[in-house]
Amino acid sequence: MIKLISKGINFLLGHQLRKKNIFLGNSLINLKRERKIDNNYLDYVRLSALELISYEINRKGLRGNTAELGVYKGKFARYINQYFPDRLLYLFDTFEGFDRRDIDRDIQMQFSAGKQDFSDTSVEGVLKIMPSPEKCVLVKGFFPESAKEIDDDFVFVSIDTDLYDPIYHGLNFFYPKLVDGGYLFVHDFNNDGYRGVRRAVEQFCEELQINFFPLPDSCGSAVIMK
């Protein structure tokens, strides 16, 4: 019945919905295992991809921890924590918004103006929403200087810093530490407001002669698998 209703809506309103980048469609209708996807998280594609990746990593028994570079208020990090409850989750952020050095670099390279204010966050506020806060390791400071003491292996890493320099440094820091079969998400790859994201990913992948997959989530993530 739901499929019929969706088809009817698409038939009647599909053109108007597509103008607003709203699409109705099936997702893994033949998969029998139960999946836990929070309907309150507005980017279904991004969250669903994380759930699928976590399932593959856990099914294969890969060893390593998880991380997010660019945490802000922790809304995506909380699901990394949920889907990998037995692994450490390193949370790298200034917790004060963009660093002036990164903004100046983006402006110099004409990638963005770096005007968004992400300072309305705190370590305490991020930890408060985590399902397993005891597994979180908060790393506050300017990246990559803040990561000098970190030498873990990783199975999953999310990079969501918007600006060219921290993304490029993040890729260079995390990819060598990513285990075979591990995944790396780079958010905003297809966000034309932050063109440095695409440049950082493309440059890094060209240098290492590796590939990435562009994910059609709300801001367009690039997915790299090792």
pLDDT, tens digit, for every residue of 139-188?
A: 999 999 999 999 999 999 999 999 999 999 999 999 999 999 999 999 99
What residues does 163 pair with on adjacent strands? none
Domain identity same for 23 and 66: no
Q: What is the pLDDT of residue 164?
A: 98
Domain identity same for 100 and 15: no
Helices 195-208, 164-174: axis angle to 10 degrees equals 30
Helices 164-174, 100-108: axis angle to 10 degrees equals 110
Q: 174 lies in which domain range?
A: 31-225
Average confidence (pLDDT) over 53-76: 98
CATH number at residue 176: 3.40.50.150
Looking at every residue in the chain, the average pLDDT score rounds to 93
CA pseudo-torsion sign 79, 200, 198, 216:
negative
Domain identity same for 116 and 55: yes
- Total domains in the chain come to 2
Domain identity same for 26 and 41: no
Domain identity same for 185 and 206: yes
CA distances from 69 to 23, 25, 138, 168, 180 (A): 30, 32, 11, 11, 20
Domain identity same for 141 and 215: yes
Average confidence (pLDDT) over 64-75: 98
Q: In sequence order, what are the residues at sequence separation of 6 or more whose Cβ sits closer than 8 angstroms to the Cβ of residue 37?
A: 44, 47, 48, 51
CA distances from 110 to 70, 101, 144, 147, 168 (A): 21, 14, 22, 27, 16
What residues does 136 pair with on adjacent strands? 89
Q: Which residue has the higher pLDDT, 27 or 114?
A: 114
Judge whether residue 17 has pLDDT over 80. Answer: no
| Dist CA 68 CA 76 (whole Å) | 9
Q: What is the pLDDT of residue 20?
A: 65
Domain identity same for 130 and 93: yes
Q: Read off the pTM.
A: 0.92
